[in-house]
Amino acid sequence: MTLNNLSATQIGRQIIDGELTSQEATAYFIAQIKTHNPEINAVIAERFEAAMEDARAADEARDRGDIAGPLHGVPMTIKDAFEVTGLTCDVGAPNFANIISENDAVVVQRLKQAGAIILGKTNTPLFCADWQSYNALHGTTHNPHNLAHTPGGSSGGSTAALAAGMTPLEYGSDIGGSIRIPAHYCGLFGHKPTLGIVPPRGHVPPVHGALAASDLSVVGPLGKYVADIRLAFDLTVGLEPPASQAMQIELQGPRAEEPEDLRIGVWASDAFCEVDSEIEAAIIEAADKLAAKGATLIPIKPDFSLARHTEVYMMLLNATMGRGYSSSVHARLQAVIDAALEDDTSWPVLQARGARLSHAHWQNWHEERMQLAAKWAALFEQVDVIFCPVSPTPAMAHDQSADFAARKISVNGASRD
Name residues whose C-beta falls within 8 Å of residue 408's C-beta, 6 or more positions apart in sequence.
415, 416, 417
- Give, in order, the Cα–Cα distances in Å from 277 to each of 48, 96, 149, 271, 273: 44, 42, 20, 13, 12
Q: Considering the candidates 7, 101, 133, 154, report the single residue annotated as catalytic.
A: 154
Answer left, alpha or beta for residue 37, where phi above 0 means left and psi between -120 and 50 means alpha. alpha
CB atoms within 10 A of CB 359: 8
How far apart, in whole angstroms, are the C-alpha atoms of residue 111 and residue 75?
11
**3-class SS of residue 166:** coil
Q: How many C-alpha atoms does 322 have within 13 Å on its Cβ side?
A: 25
- Give, in order, the Cα–Cα distances in Å from 92 to each of 64, 89, 171, 222, 351: 42, 9, 18, 21, 21
58-97 exposure pattern, b = at least 16 Cβ within 10 A, e = fewer? bbebbeeeebbbbbbbbbbbbbbbbbbeebbbbbbbeebe
Range list of β-strands (E), 138-281: 139-140, 170-174, 189-190, 218-223, 263-266
Q: Considering the candidates 7, 22, 79, 192, report the single residue annotated as catalytic.
A: 79
Classify burial at 254, counting beta carbons within 10 Å of its beta carbon; exposed 0-12, middle 13-18, buried 19 or more: exposed
Write out the DSSP string of 333-357: HHHHHHHS-TT---HHHHHHHHHT-
Q: Considering the candidates 133, 178, 214, 217, report the single residue annotated as catalytic.
A: 178
Closest by Cα among 229, 103, 236 to 170: 229
Q: Is 192 an active-site residue? A: no
Q: Is 154 an active-site residue? A: yes
Contact 306, 270 (CB under 8 A): yes
Name residues whose C-beta falls within 8 Å of residue 176's C-beta, 6 or more positions apart in sequence.
317
Q: Is 214 an active-site residue? A: no
**3-class SS of residue 302:** coil
Closest by Cα among 102, 97, 110 to 44: 97
How far apart, in whole angstroms, are the C-alpha atoms of residue 315 and residue 334?
14
- Give, in order, the Cα–Cα distances in Å from 196 to each of 199, 220, 238, 266, 359: 6, 11, 9, 28, 21
What single DSSP character describes residue 395? P
What residues are annotated to the active site? 79, 154, 178
